[in-house]
Amino acid sequence: MDLLNTLVDKGLRRELPTREEALAVLATSDDDVLDVVAAAGKVRRHWFGRRVKLNYLVNLKSGLCPEDCSYCSQRLGSTAGILKYTWLKPDEASEAAAAGLAGGAKRVCLVASGRGPTDRDVDRVSDTIKAIKEQNEGVEVCACLGLLSDGQAERLRDAGADAYNHNLNTSEGTYGDITTTHTYADRVDTVQKAHAAGLSACSGLIAGMGESDEDLVDVVYSLRELDPDSVPVNFLIPFEGTPLAKEWNLTPQRCLRILAMVRFVCPDVEVRIAGGREVHLRTLQPLALNLANSIFLGDYLTSEGQAGKADLDMIADAGFEVEGTDQVTLPEHRATAGGGCGSHESAGCGSHEGAGCGGHEAAGCGSHEGGGVCGTAPVAQTAEPRTDLVSVRRRGAGTDLAPNA
């Protein structure tokens, strides 16, 4: 049985691929990328059908962050010309959220720059959550406020939050190269706090920061162990004025392979195409809907995204449908097991037999006899910089202009 058939069978059983298999997906050639998409698409459709969940970001507080995350336009020392403003009032945030919900979003993600919230900040966000929930029946609210202190996750849950986002971003082994003002362990701790409080955990990664295939597999395996219900896959937006401004490492085909690998490792979890899809997937975005079952609608935190109507047209033209508020996102075995918006079984994204991160064997295509899709390892590509596709957000939250939704 070849590699892709093996991965499909494992995905339908929620069985963890081997590290060699995950690395082999990333090592496939551009000639085989449609075969990879077709295989991972079978797993996606098995667990999520043809539904696409829409999420909408509201940046509650922009810029002036004391952390030094190299990828972030809001970081300490950033000279990127982004919007900078302090906390939106609850009614302002609720008004901003309404635009996304009117465009078909099912979940509102409330984000604030900073190391982590003070107790007063948690009060502010709690008031915002209540305002949004009172005005919009069936809406899900996810908070993303940085590192949590003891008891804060419980307070957000009591205010009506459904989920909490805190991404791992990259592998533990390379985390110190990206950020020095907090640790990988700090991020893991916050995801665990969200889980323990009964919030649905949302945690993902950023691809394109110069990481190796092994780093990508490491972080995705670590995410599977943490058992989030949602895994956002961000593709680095190289903002001028940040340390990673020159990192243009992604091609559309590379992005598709990364999304496929995430789907195979976390088959029954909401995989979301997040920041950077317009910059790096470009005209291949519709293909990515065969891998991910969730996207952000409209603009991002500090950058402009594709027009909301274009998102909806893309979904319809690709033969998918927008998920409604009356539909449950996660498969029944996760959605009915309690704990936030999905289950937190000890098995995580499936069964963890033999999971761990294992060693860092030089896997490549491994020994997939009869596989066909591996062949010779592809020649490394250098992506052309597309600075023309990086646009700073100048509308929506924090401005007097209508949002893009």
| Token code pair at residue 305 | 């995204």
- Strand locations in 250-402 (E): 270-273, 294-296, 321-322
Answer whether residue 403 is part of any domain. no
43 domain residue, yes or no: yes
What is the per-residue pLDDT across 66-75, written as a single tens digit (0 to 9) for each?
888 998 888 8
pLDDT (tens digit per residue) in 141-193 = 999 999 999 999 999 999 999 999 999 999 999 999 999 999 999 999 999 99
Q: Per-residue pLDDT averaged across 393-404, rounded?
A: 80
- Per-residue burial over 224-261, b if 16 or more Cβ lie within 10 Å, else e, is bebbbbbbbbbbbbbbeebbbbebbbbbbbbbbbbbbb
What is the pLDDT confidence band of residue 378, given thresholds at 50, 70 and 90? very low
Q: What are the start-end ranges of the E strands in 71-161?
A: 107-112, 140-144
Can 395 be counted among the known catalytic residues?
Answer: no
Q: How far apart (Å, rounded) are the C-alpha atoms in residues 153 and 116? A: 12
Among 202, 255, 266, 341, the active-site one is: 202
Candidate list 19, 44, 72, 266, residue with the active-site label: 72
Nearest to 275 by CA among 74, 76, 96: 74
| Bigger pLDDT: 37 vs 370 | 37
Question: For 231, what's the count of Cα atoms within 13 Å in the CB-facing half-sphere?
Answer: 30
Residue 400 lies in a domain: no
From CA 129, how far away is CA 121, in angstroms rounded?
A: 12
Residue 405 counted as domain residue: no
**Catalytic residue status for 69:** yes
DSSP letter at 391 equals -
Residue 271 confidence class, pLDDT cut points 50, 70, 90: very high
**Mean pLDDT computed over 301-315:** 89
Tokens 């646009």 found at: 391
Q: Is the pLDDT of residue 341 over 60?
A: no
Q: What are phi and psi of 206, to 5 degrees?
A: -120, 125
> What pTM did the predictor assign?
0.88
Beta strands in 140-258 (DSSP E): 140-144, 163-165, 200-202, 205-207, 230-235
Whole domain around residue 183: which residue ranges? 3-389
Average pLDDT of the chain?
A: 87
* Candidate list 272, 277, 334, 393, residue with the active-site label: 272
Q: Is 255 one of the catalytic residues?
A: no
Contact present, 342 and 330 (Cβ < 8 Å): yes
Whole-angstrom distance, CA of residue 100 vs CA of residue 397: 11
Structure tokens at 219: 């972080």
Which of 293, 339, 403, 369 is CA-nearest to residue 20? 369
pLDDT one-digit tens code per residue, 234-257: 999 998 888 899 999 999 999 999
144 among known catalytic residues: no
Report the Cα 320 to chain-centroid distance in Å.
Answer: 20
DSSP 392: B
Single-letter code of the amino acid located at 226:
L
The two most distant CA atoms of the chain are separated, in Å, by 60
**Which of the following is catalytic: 19, 44, 142, 254?**
142
Number of Cβ within a 10 Å radius of residue 79:
11
Confidence of residue 82 (pLDDT cuts 50, 70, 90): confident
- What's the structural domain count of the chain? 1
Distance (Å, rounded) from C-alpha 403 to C-alpha 395? 5
365 is catalytic: no
Q: Which of 19, 44, 65, 255 is catalytic?
A: 65
Task: Quote the tokens at residue 223.
Answer: 């995410």
Mean pLDDT of 308-325: 96
- Residue 404 within any structural domain of the chain: no
User: Does residue 398 belong to any structural domain of this protein?
Assistant: no
Q: Is residue 142 part of a domain?
A: yes
Q: How far apart are CA 162 and CA 119, in angstroms?
A: 19
Whether 402 maps to a domain, the answer reads no
Is residue 119 scored above 60 in pLDDT? Answer: yes
The SS3 call for residue 231 is strand
Q: What is the CATH number of the domain that holds 77?
A: 3.20.20.70
